[in-house]
């Protein structure tokens, strides 16, 4: 059986997929984009917040409440390839820049966004 210290070291050495995920309102094709340091679990927090009525985006929350969960789709939008020596702060900064780039491109194309 592993000790707590061994489990902690193993967890810290795990590599997670990082990137941007989207929540799509299927009624009007409006998108919500957000960055995450764990794409495999990206939707858990937002889904919990939406179900609890406490999402940080009031318009998304309002639409979720009015339209229901069945009218929303969760997908991965973009994945950032990271190197073993990338620092968490650098990864986070790169994710923020990538999100800003995508949001600008989508706005320029006329995409409805939250």
Tell whether 56 is covered by a domain. yes
Between CA 83 and CA 17 the distance in angstroms is 11
Tell whether 3 is covered by a domain. no
Q: How far is CA 28 from CA 4, 43, 67, 112, in A?
A: 48, 20, 11, 8
pLDDT digits (tens, 9 = 90+) for 49-85: 999 999 999 999 999 999 999 999 999 999 999 887 7
Tell whether 40 is covered by a domain. yes
Residue 63 sits in a domain of what CATH number? 3.40.1440.10
Q: What percent of the chain has pLDDT over 70?
A: 96
Please state the domain count of the chain: 1
In this prediction the pTM is 0.82
Tell whether 66 is covered by a domain. yes
Q: Domain range holding 98?
A: 15-108
């Amino acid at each position: 059986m592993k000790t707590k210290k061994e489990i902690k070291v193993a967890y810290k050495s795990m590599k997670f997929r990082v990137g941007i995920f989207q929540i799509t309102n299927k009624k009007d094709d409006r998108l919500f984009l957000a960055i995450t340091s764990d794409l495999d679990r990206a939707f858990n927090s937002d889904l919990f917040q939406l179900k609890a009525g406490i999402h940080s985006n009031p318009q998304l929350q309002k639409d979720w409440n009015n339209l229901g969960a069945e009218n929303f789709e969760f997908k991965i939008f973009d994945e950032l390839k990271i190197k073993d020596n990338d620092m968490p702060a650098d990864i986070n900064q790169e994710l923020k820049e990538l999100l800003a780039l995508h949001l600008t491109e989508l706005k320029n194309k006329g995409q409805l966004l939250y």
